[in-house]
Amino acid sequence: MTTDLIDLRAATTADCEALAGIHCEAWLGAYRGVLHGVDLQKMISRRGLGWWRGALARGVDIKILSIADIPAGYATYGSCRLRNTGMDGEIYELYLKPEYQGLGFGRVLFDNVRETLAAKNLAGLAVQVLSDNEPARAFYKALGGRLAAKSGYRLGGKRLELSIYTWPVTGA
């Protein structure tokens, strides 16, 4: 019997349904009203069970966060894809179901993934977030992220601004 409330582990194919559900709930909570309804539904529908199985089969690093054995969030991460940041690691996505947000679980997941990236010798960390997602921007600022750059993205004929936050090498 375990007394741990929080479980952080690498996702497996058995987690695909939970990952799809977390993605759907988190995206609806974060982007409803920011993205057009049709565009939002298209983005969510692309992340069904097959997408998650494929991601795991391709070796995408996915960490799942469970609270009292209930899947509550996830993060995808790996080598930094963002040019000119000087960072080696990147968190591609970090999402929690809305009912778990604002309780410190996002910080636990972020810190754990940051440690995992450092253990893989990926120095420094970058995160890209939709600039209109103010709660996410505030979250990354509260974690010590520095706004390093802005970028753009087109979705459904609309240009969306992205904010890139960075964290230097731990101890630097």
pLDDT tens for residues 146-166?
A: 999 999 888 777 788 999 999
C-alpha torsion sign, points 106, 11, 128, 135: negative
Percentage of the chain modeled with pLDDT above 70: 97
pLDDT at position 169 is: 77
**Residue 102: per-residue pLDDT:** 95
The arrangement of secondary structure in 6-167, i.e. its CATH architecture, is 3-Layer(aba) Sandwich (3.40)
Residues 6+ apart with CB under 8 A from 104: none
Cα 167 to chain center, whole Å?
Answer: 15
Q: Quick check: pTM over 0.75?
A: yes
pLDDT above 90 covers a percentage of the chain that reads: 78
pLDDT digits (tens, 9 = 90+) for 110-142: 999 999 999 999 999 999 999 999 999 999 999
In this model, does residue 57 exceed pLDDT 50? yes
- For the chain, which residues make up each domain, given as ranges? 6-167
Between 169 and 172, the higher pLDDT residue? 169
